[in-house]
Amino acid sequence: MSDILVIQHVESEGLGIIGPMLRAAGLAADFVRVFNGGVVPQDARTHSGLIVLGGPMGVYEEEDYPFITDELRLIESGLRRGLPVLGICLGAQLLARAAGARVYKGGTKEIGWYKVRLTEAGRGERLLVGLPEEFTVFQWHGDTFDCPSAGVNLASSELFPNQFIKVGNAAYGIQFHLEVTEAMIREWFSVNAGEVKALKSIDPAMVLKETPGNIPAIHALGRPVISRFLRLLDN
């Protein structure tokens, strides 16, 4: 069984549907839970791939969260080796920064269900074959990033142009969440109630009402994308 290194920043942002898919593929997740004091390794040379999950902290908050510096070094090491890397939300922002791009606060926050649209590059991307040109995803972020000079942007939303980036041959950063379950979304609204209450533009009740109807579709999109990423670990 081949291990994939998973960096988890907060307890509420886990693997979601990725966990069962790893087990079905015969892969074991080797977790570094930084919220419990887990130490980020200098590199992932003993692992077949790297998954970096989301979290509420900003990539630019290294003084408050020293593990960010360690994660950037880890991702940089993975990029040099051509290691398959999947960054989700904060993980995507860390990938962008590790590849030399700017990460910064956006003009607004995307929290809830939003449409994203594949770019021309996205329509030809192997992970996204068969996906519709436009589809609805779950978002929870306020920060954004530029596309690295060595990367390509695969999807955009109305509010944020860079939603799904590819760096090199096997590193991907997804700003939105294909891995979420309904239970995760409900927990996020509970854990982050203060953040949401401060946002007049977000109606939590409406987002939660829309969630059961959107979850099957997002899983139908997410499973092939994740499955194709996991197959890169065998290359």
177 is catalytic: yes
The domains found in the chain, sorted by start residue, are 2-234 (3.40.50.880)
111, 112, 89, 142: which is closest to 211 by C-alpha? 112
pLDDT-based confidence at residue 200 (cuts at 50, 70, 90): confident
pLDDT-based confidence at residue 227 (cuts at 50, 70, 90): very high
179 is catalytic: yes
Phi–psi pair at 78, nearest 5 degrees: -65, -40
Q: Please, what is the angle between helix 204-231 and helix 182-191, to 10°?
A: 130
Give tens-digit pLDDT for 18-67. Answer: 999 999 999 999 999 999 999 999 998 899 999 999 999 999 999 999 99
pLDDT-based confidence at residue 1 (cuts at 50, 70, 90): very low
Identify the active-site residue in 47, 89, 125, 147.
89
- State the residue for tokens 């929290």: 111
Q: What is the model's pLDDT at position 6? A: 98
In the chain, % of residues over pLDDT 90? 92
17, pLDDT greater than 80: yes
